[in-house]
Amino acid sequence: LDAAFAGVGSHVALMMVDEITGEVVDILPEQYKNMEFIVTLKYTGGKLMLRLNNNKGLLYDIKRENGKLVATLEQEGFNIGSNQITDMYDGKIYYSYNGYFSYYDINTKKFTATSQESGGGGSAIDLIKLKDQEKFPGYSYVYTTTANKDKQLELTIYNPETGERVTKFFETQKVPTDLRSIASGPDGRIYSNGYLIGGAGAYTIGSNEPSRQYKMIGQAENMVTVGERIYLGVYPGGSLYMFNPYKETDGKTNPLKLFSLGEAEKQDRPFGMAAQDNIIYIGTLPNYGVLGGDFTIYNTKTFKWEIIKEPIKGQAITCVAANKEYAVGGTTIWGGHGINPSTTSAKLLVYHIETKEYKVVELPRSGIPIVSGLAFDNKGRLWGTAESYLFVYDIEKDEFQYFEVAFPEKNFDNVMVVIDSTMLYNWKDHYMYGMTSRKGFFRVDPDTMEMEFLSPLNGEHLIMGEDGNIYFFVKNSLYVYGDVFIPTSK
């Protein structure tokens, strides 16, 4: 055929390349341009089948007419869930949806979902010719997944000719995953969440290993504790979940999904989260290819929420700090992956908790792409970083009391940055602690503004444990700083 095909995101496109003439054409219909990605793409038997990120499929007939490549949309809107599509066999193209083997017959032009289960949300499929041709004649459909409750590798072989089926489970070696967020739980343990695979671990302070692990929890960009529950801001879909650490996780009611900002509001990552009394303040990064983040206020008592839609046009809110009077968000000029900024200078969003009014505060310097690491001290002053600057802002006086270069080696020109630093006020020694990329772990004396660098470790998410020590993580390891005693294993 002398053709190549490419699925493009986050501004979705389906490119057909004529390798003879060099012509490149986007053949995706206009009504699908609101999607983000083409997840799966397969050319076989003169057909091009694909899966969009909403699990809907398109199927094209591809041929040459008078030397020119012609793509005709033959089927659209069918359901497809697997991450791979097989080569055509016996006039059929196989895939999986909703836990069942399915296929498209190119002769009858019909889709069929078989009664054979494929083991849940899919990972990989293929057609393989097995040695045992008596039991599995011709080609058999092989499907692997880890979508079972025990996260075992599940391999299923199904022969469409005989209906013979066999499923095997394999124990896979557990390996550490990088952490995404941490929080001090209602039971005093330190809870951590995993990058990509999700899940949660609970570390008992004073122990040398996790005391408990939880499954069926998604990737939490941030977490906060209110009362006896942990609230998780989960990607994708900008969802808020409520997790009861005293019960087993079941993926349905624990954690319980409270709401999602994904489809309706086009928000994806709840990076900024802070709790005050029974209210959670959430700042979000939008979907892929979109600019503009929302500020959401959630009441844990009434289960109701209010959305301030894109309070700072074109900017996302990726860090939040709160005290009794104010909730403040720090912004980045960047949005979801796949789009350039429309503004040049990050800002502060200052929300008055009692009046529910907000104002936008400009930084003393222009051209700074991100504000991050916000925290209040015991005098109600707001601390944060803004690229190479450390600042202290008095909200009542509307005055930056300090705005000086503290990290001269930091420059984010033309670099997408949505998370840079984290800060925490230590009520024990009254220092402001911080962790920033490219510089490491530091603390500042609020009276003298003298800065002391404690470690070159480039970690994330400073939190205060119930023991008064500071916890943070670096990649897949949890660290503690303070008056620490951890027993070693015998």
Q: What's the confidence (pLDDT) of residue 420?
A: 86
Which residue has 């060099």 as its token pair? 22
| Domains recognised in the chain with CATH numbers | 3-125 (2.130.10.10), 261-458 (2.120.10.80)
Whether pTM > 0.75 for this model: the answer is yes
Q: Which residues of 353-363 are buried (b: 16+ CB within 10 A; e: fewer)?
A: beeeebeebeb
DSSP per residue over 32-49, as a string? GTT---EEEEEEETTEEE
CA atoms within 13 A on the CB side of 347: 19
Q: Is the peptide bond before 236 cis (omega within 30 degrees of 0)?
A: yes
Q: What pLDDT is recorded for position 117? A: 76
User: How much is the pLDDT for 123?
Assistant: 63
Cα(318)–Cα(306) distance, integer angstroms: 18
pLDDT in tens, 44-94: 999 999 999 999 999 999 999 999 999 999 999 999 988 889 999 999 999
Q: How far apart are CA 232 and CA 227, in angstroms?
A: 14
| Residue given tokens 């300090």 in the structure block | 402
pLDDT of the residue at 490: 38
DSSP state of 252: S
Q: Helix, strand, coil proportions of the chain in percent (round to 5)?
A: 0, 50, 50
* Lookup result for tokens 């590798």: 153
Q: What is the pLDDT of residue 489?
A: 45
Which parts of the chain sit beneath pLDDT 50? 489-490
Q: Strand 256-260 vs strand 267-276: parallel, antiparallel, or unpaired?
A: unpaired
Q: What tokens does 108 get? A: 């009858």
430 contacts 424 by C-beta, under 8 angstroms: no
